[in-house]
Amino acid sequence: MSECMQCKKELTYNEIGAHKKFINRGSTSFLCKTCLARTLGVTVGDIDEKIEQFIQQGCTLFTAQREF
């Protein structure tokens, strides 16, 4: 079980995947979508859209089961 390194929110599988994808694949601590979006200067909607695309591509860092 991981939590966001900034706001301590519990992370979903896809949030960890997004962090690996957007920041660093080798990361061992992670940001939630909200903090990640703020860090990247994009919206949470943008992150969701990208996650959706990665799922379509079959990227194993993400799951279509959203709350896993």
Q: Which is nearer to Zn ion, 6 or 63 (CB)?
A: 6
The interface region with Zn ion, picked from 12-20, 25-33, 37-45, 56-64 by CB under 5 A, is: 25-33
Helix axis angle, 13-22 relative to 33-40, nearest 10°?
20
CA dihedral 59, 35, 8, 62 (to 10 degrees): -10
DSSP 8-state code for residue 66: T
Q: Is 37 in the site for Zn ion (CB under 5 A)?
A: no
Binding residue for Zn ion, selected from 11, 16, 18, 35, defined by CB under 5 A? 35
Pick the binder of Zn ion from 6, 40, 59, 61 (CB under 5 A): 6
Whether residue 36 contacts residue 47, with contact meaning beta carbons closer than 8 Å, is answered with: yes
Which chain residues interact with Zn ion by CB under 5 A?
4, 6-7, 9, 32, 35
